[in-house]
Amino acid sequence: MKYLLLFLLSIALCREWKSTKEMVHYINKLRTTWRAKEYPTSSKPSLGAILDSPYNLPEKTTFQTETNDLPPSFDLRDAYPECSSLKEIRDQANCGSCWAFGAVEAMSDRICIKTKGKLQTRVSAQYLLTCCYSCGFGCNGGYPASAWYFWEENGIPSGGLYGDKNTCQPYFLPECDHHVKGSHGDCPATVNTPQCKDTCQDGYPVSLDEDKSYGVDSYSVRGENNIMKEIYENGSVEASFTVYNDFLTYKEGVYQHTTGSILGGHAIKIIGWGVTDEGVKYWICVNSWNDEWGENGLFRILKGENECGIESGVNAGNPKI
């Protein structure tokens, strides 16, 4: 019986479903660690992380914290309530720019954490997306590791959400609905990467070069315990993982791949970890599909099992203050 169940599960993991409704029903009937909901079939997944990168950052292996000293649950939003960027959910719209969003969101958090709330900088996804030519292909996907190296070597100016007038280069696309019937309207069918600009928007009081923030280093972190230490000591990290069809239907709970085929790579921000009442360990992740998707824009994913490769693709760096 045990082997029969394993066989049936292996079939379901890569099964092609006739409809989203059928897949959602199957997932929820299993009663695993998460629940799904049906999404509009016309929705195109907004991904963009190229997982097979030609460039890898040096791996960090030395930390101040011992594994036994780490708490079972930790959330940067609680540890640093003065940092408003930790509570912000951005939206990449229908551009494959997750690799840029995961990076600049973590960079913004780290600047605030490092300065104990004195600097509330929003690092620009727009500039990174359009001006980092070594990072990949703009809206057609990019390399998360290269984004951190670019911050260290070139610097990135400030940039908030679409329409923001208080930063140098805000994002060029407004929010849109990602796999939900939300309030923003459908995402555009196709999006081209804008040209790189070396100036800030009209009316911004300083030059782009004066506005830039820089990293002092860039590195990768691997493994459950080291990722926890890095978040605990320095702040948010960017992680990449493989996305399957079922992830798009995520509603709540601790995600683990249940069924469906591979759609591509995705990059997000991790801000902490925890454990459910049932003893299921998870990472607290911030997505870039606005706050109407998932758990108010966030999701939790199984921790300690390298679920979908999330513990083998983590990048970070420290800000130059």
DSSP state of 176: -
Among 195, 215, 228, smallest CA distance to 76 is for 228
Residues 6+ apart with CB under 8 A from 293: 178, 179, 180, 182, 250, 287
The CA distance from 296 to 315, in Å, is: 24
Choice among 187, 266, 285, 318 that is catalytic: 266
Res 98 pLDDT > 90:
yes
Q: Where are the beta strands (DSSP E) in 135-294?
A: 219-221, 237-244, 250-255, 262-275, 281-286
**311-320 pLDDT, tens digit each:** 998 999 999 9
Mean pLDDT of the chain: 92
Choice among 287, 290, 315, 318 that is catalytic: 287
**Stretch among 1-5, 22-26, 85-89 having the lowest mean pLDDT:** 1-5
**Domain architecture of the chain: domains with CATH:** 23-316 (3.90.70.10)
Q: Is 287 a catalytic residue?
A: yes
Radius of gyration of the chain (CA): 19
The CA distance from 77 to 87, in Å, is: 7
Q: Is 178 a catalytic residue?
A: no
Choice among 83, 94, 95, 98 that is catalytic: 98
Q: Which helix (H) or strand (E) holds 194?
A: none
Decide if 231 contacts 76 (C-beta within 8 A): yes
**Stretch among 183-187, 190-194, 316-320 having the lowest mean pLDDT:** 183-187
**204-227 pLDDT, tens digit each:** 999 999 999 999 999 999 999 999
Res 198 pLDDT > 80:
yes
**239-274 pLDDT, tens digit each:** 999 999 999 999 999 999 999 999 999 999 999 999
| pTM metric for this prediction | 0.93
**147-169 pLDDT, tens digit each:** 999 999 999 999 999 999 999 99
Among 208, 192, 212, smallest CA distance to 150 is for 212
